Amino acid sequence: MGRVEEAISSYERAVECDPNNFEAWDNRGYALIKLGRLTEALASIEQSLQVNPKHANGIYNRGYCYALMGHTREAIDCSDRLYC
């Protein structure tokens, strides 16, 4: 898990330099998912989608996070958003 934590630190530095770096926000969120820190992950992914609401990977990761949290309806809504 040390490499995942290292990645999170790198993504945090990236968004400090450029708060509009939606990919760094999204990647940070995915790394947090891998650590099971789902609430933090969702917040990071949501930040990504505030910057770029049409970012498909962010939408997918939000749905994935919701699914892991047991929020089935929200996960399905994200899936629908990807394929409609």
> In 3D, which of 7, 2, 3 has the Cα closest to residue 24?
7
According to the model, what pLDDT value does residue 83 have?
A: 66
How much is the pTM? 0.90
pLDDT in tens, 29-63: 999 999 999 999 999 999 999 999 999 999 999 99
Tell me, what's the pLDDT at 14? Answer: 98
| Domains identified in the chain and CATH numbers | 2-83 (1.25.40.10)
Angle, alpha carbons 31-84-25 (nearest 5°)? 20
Mean per-residue pLDDT over the chain, rounded:
94
Averaged pLDDT, 49-78: 94
